Structure 1
Amino acid sequence: MKLIQEHSDVAAYLVADEAVDHDHPLVQETADALWAATGDAYSYAKVAFEFVRDTIPHTADSGDDRVSWRASDVLATRNGICYAKSHALTALLRAQGIPAGLCYQLLGDDDGSNLAVHGLVALRLPGRDDWSRVDARGNKPGVDAQFTLDHEQLAFPVRPELGEVDYPELYAAPHPATLKVLQESVDRPQLWRNLPTGL
């Protein structure tokens, strides 16, 4: 899918903000440790993706009721939903100078009910003109997201016949609808009740 950059200047996808806080010491330390184990942008991006996917459980899988939204908090508490995990991966990528942004899908149950926005990350490695989407949600039976640049292997393929949508916009900062629900939910049950049903 061709992504539409919210900002024409790629530098916008390297900026730190309150959610993608890659200027935080914990994010920097984590990024430096992962970089030391890899040493080039491609290897680092893959290891950072796998780190967020595999070592930070999605709260729907773990049952953790805490709600984190800052990248640094996601890394500290080792918990988060897709939006929060996307903030963490975006921060880790930007911490090592790899442009990364946030993008979204609208997904539902198998009968098309309970539509809700799902968060992804897109990155652009040095020497590449195109953005590649990856999904660090976390794998489980029936979900096998992988770090692939030549073709997408996301957690959930979109089913347009059920009203699901791939949003083409690539955001430099979290979409206000997703950030608001993270910030205003005191626990995961409240978060689940208030997930945005569109952008």
Structure 2
Amino acid sequence: MRKYLRATDIIDWDHPAVLEQARVLKGDFADPVEIAKACFEWVRDNIKHSGDCKAEVTTVKASEVLEHGTGWCFAKSHLLAALLRANDIPAGLCYQRLRRDDGKGFTLHGLNAVFLPEIGWYRIDSRGQRPGCDAQFCPPREKLAFPIAEEGEMDFMEIWPDPSPVVVECLESYKGWEAVALNLPDIAFIVE
């Protein structure tokens, strides 16, 4: 579990601002489930999705997402992982492959998995609410923003301790919501 608790360049939970926000969200809670829910709901509801708000800044690191108050789904998942890890709750990154909003191809979608006592790994999606997206924290039932609904879409069930390199490359290479939106990452896969 140590790899799901460590600070990294991207999941920089050791940054003073991230540590302070994690402390505020923990409040008087002692139960990891309550802490995880508080962190999830705060990121979901308070950090704007960069595509929705047409952000000109592109964030990657958890501390950048917190500072600017915006991030793509991937970056929001980096912040959520950092807040959970700062509260000593194991957290990883997960991905889905979804049809793009414009219908032209597919893109990865970033979310998290958190390790909860008596439940185990539980996937949560802090993407943010909008029509058609209703992500909730209701363990043990999973309620993600996007169900897999079309041919070519899929859930990747792996729980990554670090962000996918294609995600980091996209967020570091393109600045502003339009550039990122035109270059959202996808991965090829083979079904046998």
Q: What is the CA–CA distance in structure 1 between the aligned matches of 2:102 and 2:65, rounded to whole Å? A: 32
Q: What is the CA–CA distance in structure 2 between the aligned matches of 1:162 and 1:127, rounded to whole Å? A: 34
Out of 135, 143, 149, the residue aligned to residue 153 of structure 1 is 143
Deviation at 1:110, TM superposition (A): 7.3
Deviation at 1:109, TM superposition (A): 4.3
Structure 1: gaps (5+ residues): 1-9
Determine if contact 2:58/2:175 at 8 Å carries over to the other structure.
yes
Deviation at 1:113, TM superposition (A): 3.6
2:27 corresponds to which residue? 36
TM-score (norm 2): 0.93
What are the within-5 Å matches in structure 2 for residues 49-68 of structure 1? 49-68=40-59
* Alpha-carbon displacement from aligned partner over 1:130-168 (angstroms, at most 9, x marks no partner): 210000000012211001221111000012x42101012
- 2:121 aligned with 1:131, yes or no? yes
Determine if contact 2:94/2:113 at 8 Å carries over to the other structure.
yes
Q: What is the CA–CA distance in structure 2 between the aligned matches of 1:111 and 1:29, rounded to whole Å? A: 38
Count, aligned residues: 188
1:193 corresponds to which residue? 182
Q: What is the CA–CA distance in structure 1 between the aligned matches of 2:142 and 2:184, rounded to whole Å? A: 25
Structure 2: gaps (5+ residues): none
Q: What is the CA–CA distance in structure 2 between the aligned matches of 1:164 and 1:11, rounded to whole Å? A: 31
User: What percent of counterpart residues are identical?
Assistant: 44
Out of 163, 168, 188, the residue aligned to residue 174 of structure 1 is 163
Q: What is the CA–CA distance in structure 2 between the aligned matches of 1:140 and 1:194, rounded to whole Å? A: 22
- Give the CA RMSD over aligned residues: 1.5
Deviation at 1:125, TM superposition (A): 1.6
SS in 2 for 1:87: helix
Out of 101, 119, 126, the residue aligned to residue 110 of structure 2 is 119
Relative to total residues, which structure has the larger strand share, 1 or 2? 2
> Cα–Cα, structure 1 residues 110 and 16, in superposed 2: closer, same or farther, change >3 Å?
closer
Q: What is the CA–CA distance in structure 2 between the aligned matches of 1:17 and 1:69, rounded to whole Å? A: 12
* Alpha-carbon displacement from aligned partner over 1:79-130 (angstroms, at most 9, x marks no partner): 00100000000000000110000010000047964200000100002344x2
Q: What is the CA–CA distance in structure 2 between the aligned matches of 1:152 and 1:116, rounded to whole Å? A: 21
2:75 corresponds to which residue? 84
SS in 2 for 1:180: helix
Name the aligned partner's letter for residue 161 of structure 2: A
SS in 2 for 1:83: helix
Determine if contact 2:54/2:178 at 8 Å carries over to the other structure.
no
Determine if contact 2:51/2:181 at 8 Å carries over to the other structure.
no
Q: What is the CA–CA distance in structure 2 between the aligned matches of 1:65 and 1:114, rounded to whole Å? A: 24
